């Protein structure tokens, strides 16, 4: 039987990331991504800041806003949009799904 679901890649166990925690993943052929437990819902966004080369995984998460460690700009983790300068260009957001306690990247 054909699997009609989009290709999915397992990232981690859902229980391994508590609300407010985040983890960086670098999959083959993909730019690095940041998985965030946003009050129980998982968000997956670009890990690379769009302003300069910096890993948002080393930044600070405050509610729905992630602050880049390099120059202090910020993004909304739900929409990917830049919230404060020097960030302007939005981050890409990716679809995730939790199946049987595992978080999957739907790519």
Residue closer to other proteins by CB (options 49, 104) is 49
Residue closer to other proteins, measured from CB, 7 or 28:
28
**Count of residues near other proteins by CB under 8 A:** 12
Is 88 a binding residue for other proteins by CB under 8 A? The answer is yes
In this structure, what token pair is assigned to residue 81?
């949009």
Instruction: Report if residue 92 touches other proteins, rule: CB under 8 A.
Output: no
Beta strands in the chain (DSSP E): 8-13, 22-25, 33-38, 41-46, 60-62, 65-67, 74-76, 82-84, 93-94, 96-99, 102-106
Task: Give yes or no for residue 64 binding other proteins (CB under 8 A).
Answer: no
Burial class (CB in 10 A: 0-12, 13-18, 19+), 23: middle
60 binds other proteins (CB under 8 A): no
Which of 1-9, 34-42, 44-52, 98-106 is the region at the interface with other proteins (rule: CB under 8 A)?
44-52
Among 99, 104, 60, which Cα is nearest to 83's? Answer: 60
List contacts with other proteins (CB under 8 A).
48, 50, 52-55, 58, 71-72, 85-86, 88
């Amino acid at each position: 039987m054909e699997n009609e679901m989009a290709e999915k890649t397992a990232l981690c166990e859902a229980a391994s990331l508590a609300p407010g925690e985040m983890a960086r993943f670098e999959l083959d052929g993909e730019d690095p991504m940041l998985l965030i437990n946003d009050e129980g819902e998982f968000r997956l966004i670009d890990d690379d800041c769009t302003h300069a080369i910096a890993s948002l995984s080393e930044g600070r998460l405050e509610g729905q806003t992630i602050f880049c460690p390099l120059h202090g700009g910020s993004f909304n983790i739900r929409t990917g949009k830049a919230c404060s300068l020097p960030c302007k260009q939005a981050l890409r957001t990716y679809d995730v799904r939790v199946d049987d306690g595992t978080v999957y990247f739907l790519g």
